[in-house]
Amino acid sequence: MKPIYALVDANNFYATCEKIFDPALATRPLVVLSNNDGCIVARSAESKALGIPMGAPIHQWKDFCTEHGVVIKSSNYTLYGDMSSRMLSILQDMCPQVESYSIDESFLNLAGYADPSTYGYLIRQRLQQDIKVTCGVGIGPTKTLSKFANHLAKKNAEFGGVFNTLDHTPEEMNRWMAAYPVSEVWGVGRQLTKRLGVDGIETVLNLARCDGVSIRKRYGIVLEKTVRELRGESCLSFEDVGQPKQQIMASRSFGTTVSDPHAIKAALTHHISRAAEKLRAQQSVCANVYVMLRTNPFREQDQQYRRTTLVPLDHASADTGVLMKAALRGLRQIFVPGLKYHKCGVMLGEIEPAGIQQTDLFAPVDDPKRLRLMSLMDSINKTQGSGTLHLASTQLSAAWQMRAGDRSPRYTTCWDELPIAYA
């Protein structure tokens, strides 16, 4: 049976999470900042109404926020992550096939349901009731159409939060597609919008009516799939939850510019620890470690530098110590003294499931005793808080730490930060 895709997407997810636990904020405009308190990554409905744009650097909007009483919050991923998994378990309870696409979005397969649209309303109601999260539901025969339907559901109040393309005639759908710019299509970003505009393709309908082959020649295979999906031909399949990641990254900009190699080393060892933890959590090993280092591209007055280097391991590993040694070797290769660095990070590549690597008798493998130590460390860090236990080689240095001035409490995961109700 062909799948029927329902995209369930929470409205203003981060802002909503903040409001749920602090009723005083219920009707106030609110924005949530990125890591490091750099730019605005989420806005409540009231902030959107004030015209605050997504992604804006907060320093350009600080005065505006003060003037209009906008509440500014640092991001609290512990809280959002926990709310996200609650949302996911409700969806999994309501539908056997769920693909978690991002922290606040999932695709569901509603094929076989007697009335997908009605079920969409039920899903919406249940999320509202159980966790106070409002979402939009877009339903269609392809992922790209369900994305577009979701957008229509959110933008047009008359649909009550659910839009199903299958409930509309082709003529009606054409009218909807003609009414929205091509930039609303999933997979069409800024650059493509510009190029398509030059070619006279300005609305969703314009794109849907393009010839697949010529689009492929001019724009590549990705956009060709998008065109076909807009016409109802499914090209992107359903992926079940729990696929192991093929790359694992950990990177962060420094709170300030950093030139001291020891501070960079400290940051890098921290990133490796986090990445290795994620690697072990999905029961994988990796064979490559990429190290990235760069200056701040926004500071045009500074000398610019960015480099990545790949360090292959001599055996696939999930041992923090092994990965750490490789990362530090990479850092020595690309570090240039005297520059003002802004960000560093690591990426683990060539990831495969642990335990099935091809090895011959003489190829080194991870030391099982060390692996038991790692898994013990992981479980303690999981329950007692990240960083409770770490390898001695993980250097502690405050020089590069993030800023997060206005983070709300981790209401749902930390005993010390539970919400308090006064009777």
Residues that bind DNA (CB under 7 A): 34-36, 38-39, 41, 55, 57, 59, 101-105, 147, 185-193, 220-222, 245-253, 256-257, 274, 278, 290, 296, 298-299, 306, 308-310, 342-343, 345, 402
Would you say 224 or 319 has its CB closer to DNA?
A: 224
Q: Which of 237, 242, 235, 241 is nearest to 215 (CA)?
A: 235
Would you say 19 or 343 has its CB closer to DNA?
A: 343
Q: How far is CA 80 from CA 16, 39, 44, 299, in A?
A: 10, 18, 15, 32
Distance of closest approach, residue 66 Cβ to DNA, in angstroms = 12
Q: How far is CA 345 from CA 228, 256, 261, 328, 340, in A?
A: 37, 15, 14, 11, 15
Would you say 25 or 279 has its CB closer to DNA?
A: 279
Q: Which residue bears the tokens 């060709």?
A: 224
Would you say 113 or 134 has its CB closer to DNA?
A: 134
Give me 10's structure tokens: 């929470």
Distance of closest approach, residue 138 Cβ to DNA, in angstroms = 11
Q: What is the dihedral of CA 265, 267, 272, 273, to 10 degrees?
A: 120
Would you say 274 or 410 has its CB closer to DNA?
A: 274
Distance in angstroms between the alpha carbons of the first and the last residue of the chain: 54
Cα–Cα–Cα angle for 324, 330, 336, rounded to 5 degrees = 125
Distance of closest approach, residue 169 Cβ to DNA, in angstroms = 26
Would you say 58 or 111 has its CB closer to DNA?
A: 58
Distance of closest approach, residue 262 Cβ to DNA, in angstroms = 19
In the three-class reduction of DSSP (H, G, I as helix; E, B as strand; rest coil), residue 349 is classed as strand
Distance of closest approach, residue 246 Cβ to DNA, in angstroms = 4
Q: What is the DSSP letter of 59?
A: G
Cα–Cα–Cα angle for 293, 396, 320, rounded to 5 degrees = 70
Distance of closest approach, residue 268 Cβ to DNA, in angstroms = 12
